[in-house]
Chain A
Amino acid sequence: MASATASSVSFTSLSSSLRQNQVSHLKKVSVSFGGKSFKPVPLRFRVACAAKPETVEKVCEIVRKQLALPADSAITGESKFASLGADSLDTVEIVMGLEEEFEISVEEESAQSITTVQEAADMIEKLNEKK
């Protein structure tokens, strides 16, 4: 149980620590302000339809290009577009890029629910299965 005064995050030393006992979901994330080191989070594998690694990799590439991220920036399946700096226009462009790369058509209802690389990859495979 965390109290309000236990907050140990601050901007003075440009580093952050995470109050792990306040995390309301399963993920644990460790970030540094320098942005260069990023500990990968444990992936939650969805039993039914985990996308192929190649698909995830291609999605990462498209996201990296759209957001002009350096080649060595760590993007994984769990990466959220918003956390990587994508705004709504970027996200729409990412979806359009995915449509072109994978020759699929994404409806706006589905597009709205895609917030991470993994979700995009899963949706792509699902749409490919229907072809």
Chain B
Amino acid sequence: MRGSYLRMKLHCLDRKFFHASPTLTPIQLPSPMETHLWYVIPSEVKSKALLNQFLDILSPCEKEDVFQMRGEEPRKRALLARALVRTTIARYQMNSQISPRSLKFRKNIHGKPELEWQFSDHWLSPPLHFNISHTSSLVACGVTVNSQIGIDVEEKHRTIKHNILSFARRYFSKDEVQFLADILDPEIQRQEFVKLWTLKEAYVKALGKGFSGAPFKTFTIRYNGGGGFNPLENLNREAQEIVVDSFDEPIELTSNWQFELLELAGSHYAAICTENNFASEGKRTVPVKLTVWKTIPFLEDECVSGTDAVKTISGSK
């Protein structure tokens, strides 16, 4: 025991916990129309002792994967990614006293990681879904109940080696290429490219069928109500919803998916795609409550919703 006090700042839940030993603050499960997002900033995790605590909760396979990474920083990120998933999910099970280490994962037939439910352990919680994404400077985990979820994060300043329109022509749909081609300012074009990439990735990850399950060219993600890109329209972007059109799937199926696009921690774009099982007649989306925590598992949590760390760019309202 290092004698560190654990101070939880849970602004949203309006509670404070003080613990003498490292532990995880239990969190209530998200409701069906809620999404929870947890993220870690790797550069803020410096303690070797803490990193070893994280290593300790991983499965042997996960440890192997971590050490297959080349270089200290990539290794640390891989470690934080697994530790974030395990500790995050464990928070929702605190009543049943599930420890992060005891969680078991498996992959669906397409390779998407999911939680393995063991009813023999008397897990009464409803199916909890998660998805992770990370960049070199941020690791994020999204959680939902009863809804598939896919998330993707990218650094705001991410550049690609290829010309953006060449890349888009090769991988994106015609409408998306047109959308990007209409943007004259190269910096804004680059930003919109990165946002579009995160949205497309989030969608494919939510579907859980792998890259080839929904080839990028076969669907278009766009802002509803907009034809081309208009800088003035940007001001109203927050009011616009993001929708997906697929060449392969009829609209009844694609309207099941909805998106949130955020600027996260001032440094990243984050796209969250979730299943929408409650859309009523005529409405494509229903309001989704998103709650975001910045965390260093076992050490501190901070609910950052409503702060500058979370800025909605667009999404369902």
Contact = CB atoms under 8 A, between A and B. Distances in A.
B52 A84 contact: no
Contacts of A10: 48, 52, 55
A52 B128 CA distance: 47
A18 B215 contact: no
Contact of A111 (B61, B136, B211): B211
Contact of A108 (B63, B134, B158, B216): B216
Interface of chain A: mostly helix, strand, loop or mixed: loop
Interface string A76-90: 000010111101110
A85 B197 CA distance: 18
A83 B68 contact: yes
Interface string A102-119: 000001110110000000
B161 A92 contact: no
Contacts, number: 82
Contact of B71 (A24, A35, A96): A35
A13 to B, nearest CB: 9
Given A10-B52, A85-B74, A93 B135 contact: no
B160 A9 contact: no
B197 A35 contact: no
A31 interface: yes
B210 interface: yes
Given A7-B63, A9-B55, A85 B70 contact: yes
A2 interface: yes
B60 A22 contact: yes
Nearest to A22: B60
A11 B51 contact: yes
Contact of B201 (A14, A22, A35, A88): A88
Given A22-B60, A89-B158, A96-B162, A108 B212 contact: yes
23 contacts: A7-B55, A10-B55, A12-B48, A19-B60, A22-B60, A22-B64, A29-B68, A33-B75, A35-B71, A38-B70, A65-B161, A80-B68, A82-B69, A85-B74, A88-B211, A89-B160, A93-B160, A93-B161, A97-B161, A107-B212, A109-B212, A111-B212, A112-B211
